[in-house]
Structure 1
């Protein structure tokens, strides 16, 4: 791979991925969302030697001209730019179609025209909806249970259609619930940690019974790189998950135990999804990733989750990092 473009490089997973690519010696162009503050998002917090190595492109994934310009001279594109918050998709679904579907179309259209060697498009476990069988393989039916998941199903189909129609070299990575340092407090693990770290002992949460397959961010990043480097991944959808299922309630208990506190949980109705929109169960089958790319999680199982939570909590309780969050407010 000559040069790699990472879209969404300013975000949670994107910033970790960008840093790891630089550390591995890749020539990286980081596509960040343009803003008048010249902010690079989480990349602003990267070590100075990482930032000096980056070719940063500020633009908007919804703009086909900017996307094409960013992709010129790049051999590989890791496409992470997306709107991902499920509650926000309930009242602003149009922005999800523009960003997730049209943004993906911009990427694969430019990739086709420019002759890019590989596009790794980012999907999500949310496209499966509530599991009809577990563990969930890549053949599981797709179910749009929120405008967000519907937009990601559309984006996935656009990406793969270019592979089938034009032989554009597209691979789809489907991460399950990634967690770790820098994650938005719209997700349950940072919500719990930031509330506890800010002194709360009665936590405001949504549903506790749904289960998730939590994947530590460094494992997810390794999955992206493994898919990018694998010739066998082209034309395939590949789950990246820990193959371990745990309920939200049990996850909260584990976090409280690691942080050595006793907590109570108060259900906050505003944090509840509509009944038919809630994804009740997620549990990844990750055997295809191992077979095609050699990837397997390093933070697997209960012990791996606990170890990942230790590292996540250590980052969040740092006062400088905690100050980036508004723990007393619901982050939609």
Structure 2
């Protein structure tokens, strides 16, 4: 039975990874959480998990860039869910070398360990950013890949490395390609927390980058159910699978929807520092999720405008809690 197996989650200390780790524990899986080693003995967001969940997690602190540590972390694990990566697009303009080391070389380390240790399934986390600006909509898994930022280029490289191991060595891999995930704990550098934290801090005039790009926002609970569906499906091996809501909305309209669910008035001003270089901005993302529906039986629970507003309300309620809001610097632009 799958729940008797041990699951390694890399990046378990991050936004999506912590939610995934908690849900796996709730569902009865044995979980080894690979966190980024630091001298503060911090487990990231897992530090804020309920005690009964924390007590059931085996934590391994290490660095995804270290092949020896990665292999040690994976020993005795049956399944690996690989989420550890650098994800901030603006920081990838600043320090692209670290994205190659973490996202490409780190993924190679995970692949090598999975191959050598005979792991029964490796699920690798991609991103909708690999598609770049949509050439057609909705975007299915056959859409061309376009590296419009060093971040997206590094993720394209990582994805291709994963598929090469499947084709070269029959390593049992699957690639989950989530569209823009949002929810409690998301980094303040992402657009939805940027809007919510500014409004929750009492601002009526908020600073944003470009307002015209569209996104397919995916609530965290839907992304997590996508991970678990792919992990459990034999049909997913060797496949790339979009996890998205199949609903497109602009950044400007997203800000208005957030203001509505928070009962706030909002005035938006463009902050030049938040704008991406023109050819680097992904203007349009809209997921075709038909493959996930057909292969996995997965469907978003927070789809469409009504589902989006439900997800925004849950997210805004979490951020509005003073204990949570105090962890964010609403006045500081974080690349």
TM-score of the aligned structures, taking structure 2 as reference length: 0.99
Report Cα offsets for 1:156-186 as digits up to 9, x if no partner.
Answer: 0001100000000000000000000000010
Unaligned runs of 5+ in 2: none
Correspondence 1:290 to 2:280 = no
Partner of 2:69: 66
Unaligned runs of 5+ in 1: none
Correspondence 1:27 to 2:30 = yes
Partner of 2:252: 249
Map of 1:4-153 to 2, 5 A cutoff? 4-153=7-156
Report the Cα offset of residue 331 of structure 1. 1.3
Partner of 2:233: 230
Report Cα offsets for 1:9-47 as digits up to 9, x if no partner.
Answer: 000000000000000000000000000110000000000
Report Cα offsets for 1:217-260 as digits up to 9, x if no partner.
Answer: 01000000000000000000000000000000000000001111
Report the Cα offset of residue 261 of structure 1. 1.2
d(CA) in 1 for partners of 2:70, 2:16? 20
Runs of at least 4 residues of structure 1 off by over 2 A?
none
d(CA) in 1 for partners of 2:14, 2:285? 23
- Which of 194, 203, 206 is the equivalent residue of 1:203? 206
Alignment RMSD: 0.4
d(CA) in 2 for partners of 1:75, 1:219? 24
d(CA) in 2 for partners of 1:263, 1:331? 21
d(CA) in 2 for partners of 1:59, 1:294? 35
Of 290-299 and 3-12, deviating more is 290-299
d(CA) in 1 for partners of 2:50, 2:145? 39
d(CA) in 2 for partners of 1:273, 1:219? 28
d(CA) in 1 for partners of 2:202, 2:319? 13
The residue matched to 1:172 in structure 2 has which SS?
A: strand
d(CA) in 1 for partners of 2:298, 2:32? 24
The residue matched to 1:135 in structure 2 has which SS?
A: coil
d(CA) in 2 for partners of 1:40, 1:276? 37
d(CA) in 2 for partners of 1:107, 1:47? 28
The residue matched to 1:290 in structure 2 has which SS?
A: helix
